[in-house]
Amino acid sequence: MAEETKQADQQKVDSKENKSQVVTPSEQQQNPKEFLSNFNWHRYEEGIEEVEDEKLSEFEKLVEENFVETLNNEVVSGEVVNLTDQDAIIDINAKSEGVISLNEFRYNPDLKVGDKVDVLIDVREDEEGQLVLSHRKARVIKAWERVNDAQADGTIVNGFVKCRTKGGMIVDVFGIEAFLPGSQIDVRPIRDYDAYVGKTMEFKVVKINHEFKNVVVSHKAIIEADIEEQKKEIIGQLEKGQVLEGVVKNITSYGVFVDLGGVDGLVHITDLSWSRINHPNEVVELDQTLNVVILDFDEDKTRIQLGLKQLSKHPWEALDENIKEGDVVEGVVTVIADYGAFIEVEEGVEGLIHVSEMSWSTHLRSAQDFVKVGDKVKAKILTLDREERKMSLGIKQLTPDPWTDITTKYPVGSTHKGEVRNFTNFGVFVELEEGIDGLIYISDLSWTKKIKHPSEFCKVEDNLEVVVLELDVEGRKLSLGHKQTEKNPWDEYATEFAVGTKHTAAITEMVDKGATIDFNEDVTAFIPTRHLEKEDGSKLGKGEEAEFIVIEFNKEFKRVVASHTSLHKEEEQKIVRNAAKKAKEDQQKTTIGDANAELQALKDKMEGK
């Protein structure tokens, strides 16, 4: 009975407490947080305190309206409500407050209570029932959203250049590491990447690779947009002959690109200097400021041709008026070609020395045989045209013409030594001295050898002894002979192998219509087929030795004909005797003719012809 009385008293107390906890719906809506925090969940869950269905529905609606749904991987905004030594306590308007390690706020050392931060609900409740949040993950997700929006809208974003990397820079954009290619840093070529490290700059997001989470940004795109506006304004004002100030942007082997303030123009290498140059860097250097003149541009004004040398007076206009043809000038070899060499006699003033004016020699040679680039040479002005700005020069004119006294130095019949310079099909050119060449015809090389091409007899740079055969002073031609330096062995052969003389020899070779025999190394005789018949009626064969009689001898054509048959046939012998008699008479006539010719030559020499 006492126990029942005790329970009844306890119920009365609880009823009183419950009545004290009863809150009207209007009070719940006015202060839902306070209502929820004071609600006795233990009594409700134990069934000690019953809640009407209507009130329960209102309670559930109130929770739904005032608290966020704590789903994983969702970014929400929260407020810092407390800071400890290690953590930040964040209120995200959930059933409970979340905690984030202060390590995630290293980038923001000024974090304080009341600051709004983005957080990601990482774990709804840990083992201790604590709501676990992540600010770092939230920043990454938000950053990718902002990067995607920036690319879609073309928005300019700020980024911090963290460091250099291969081919460019690493830039922090919204906490994401983006790549800035070297070609996208500036419109001008960048040579010092380190100068940009540690700077905060503006960028445009130009490319996103969602698969590999790569972002590419560009600072150049922002500059180009500004330059494009400047370019339109500048291009609209361009005129030929206009002088503008520009900066050397790039140097190539063919010219220089100059930045005119957003518009590039090209100064071709030939328009840099009046003097001949090998490379533009001899005249200008990178980042140099200089004045240039507009020479030309296309209809769209996208290609602008500039000039630098045109701003100074042409060197030909400043050339000394006293310089004239026949004067000797000194200059430096600037260019060598096969046909000659260009000599700069004054800065920007060049003259051409043709290869034919370098030496009195008439055989073909190259300009490189006489001069090389950089040589200082003296030359004589042959022609001078100030209007056409052309000058021809000569070196050989500084030395005497070797043909001046040619008749004294190289009279007909005189013997000399010369160097073989080159061949032709019909002879050999021999240089007696610089400027004096002579030709040896192939027929005047040897008395005995049958030569098809001069290279069979000698080679270039060989020294040959020659005799002057003919001299044409006006035509500057010299005819030489080599075989004339020796006695003609056929003069002796004419006696030794005269018609009617007998010789023993072996058949060397059987040829068409007969055979040949060698009397010596120079004389080969031909035996007609009918003259090969032996006394018994058979014919001589190759290698068979027999006696022969010469039936024909021609010194001029080196022709010798012999017969074996004539030795034993009377009729043939008669023919040979008649031939021998006629040959003797011809020889006597020739001897008399030769004597007359020599007498006439002696007479001409005495008369000075």
Rounded to whole angstroms, the Cα distance separating 345 from 350 reads 6
pLDDT digits (tens, 9 = 90+) for 329-381: 999 998 888 889 999 888 888 899 999 888 887 666 788 888 888 899 999 99
Mean pLDDT taken over the chain: 79
Rounded to whole angstroms, the Cα distance separating 553 from 523 reads 10
- Which region among 17-21, 138-142, 156-160, 488-492 has the lowest average model confidence (pLDDT)? 17-21
* CATH match for 75-139 among 3.30.70.890, 2.40.50.140, 1.25.60.10, 3.30.470.20: 2.40.50.140
Q: Residue 267: what pLDDT? A: 93
Of the candidates 284, 290, 288, 287, the one whose C-alpha atom is nearest the C-alpha of residue 245 is: 290
Residues 348 and 316: beta-carbon distance below 8 Å: yes
Q: Residue 449: what pLDDT? A: 80
Domain 406-485: give its CATH code: 2.40.50.140
Q: Residue 59: what pLDDT? A: 53
Report the CATH fold assignment for 238-311.
Answer: OB fold (Dihydrolipoamide Acetyltransferase, E2P) (2.40.50)
Q: Which amino acid is at 604?
A: D
Please state which CATH class domain 489-595 belongs to.
mainly beta
Q: Residue 602: what pLDDT? A: 46
Report the CATH fold assignment for 154-223.
Answer: OB fold (Dihydrolipoamide Acetyltransferase, E2P) (2.40.50)
Work out the percent of the chain whose per-residue pLDDT is above 70: 78
Q: Residue 292: what pLDDT? A: 92
Hey, where are the domains in the chain? Answer: 23-66, 75-139, 154-223, 238-311, 315-398, 406-485, 489-595
Is 304 strand, coil or helix? strand
Indicate the pLDDT class of residue 432, thresholds 50, 70 and 90: confident
Calculate mean pLDDT across residues 420-439.
Answer: 88
Residue 13 to residues 138, 181, 447, Cα–Cα distance (Å) = 50, 78, 159
Q: Which long-range contacts (CB under 8 A, 24 or more apart) does 188-197 make?
A: 188/249, 188/259, 189/249, 189/250, 193/164, 193/168, 193/169, 194/164, 196/161, 196/169, 197/161, 197/162, 197/163, 197/164, 197/169
pLDDT digits (tens, 9 = 90+) for 555-589: 888 889 999 988 887 656 666 666 666 666 665 55
Of the candidates 434, 442, 432, the one whose C-alpha atom is nearest the C-alpha of residue 466 is: 432
pLDDT top residue among 405 and 253:
253
Whether 315-398 and 75-139 are alike in CATH topology: the answer is yes
Question: Pairing relation of β-strands 131-134 and 98-101?
Answer: parallel
pLDDT digits (tens, 9 = 90+) for 70-126: 455 677 778 888 888 888 888 877 766 788 778 777 777 788 888 888 777 766 555
Indicate the pLDDT class of residue 527, thresholds 50, 70 and 90: very high
Of the candidates 262, 84, 125, 132, the one whose C-alpha atom is nearest the C-alpha of residue 186 is: 262
Residues 454 and 427: beta-carbon distance below 8 Å: yes
The CATH architecture assigned to 315-398 reads: Beta Barrel (2.40)
Rounded to whole angstroms, the Cα distance separating 192 from 169 reads 12
- Which region among 217-231, 450-464, 550-564 has the lowest average model confidence (pLDDT)? 217-231
The model carries a pTM of: 0.42
pLDDT digits (tens, 9 = 90+) for 279-293: 999 899 998 999 999
Please count the other Cβ atoms lying within 10 Å of the Cβ belonging to residue 433.
14
Q: Which amino acid is at 346?
A: E
- 420's CB contacts (< 8 A; 6+ apart) are 428, 429, 430, 458, 459, 460, 461, 462, 463, 464
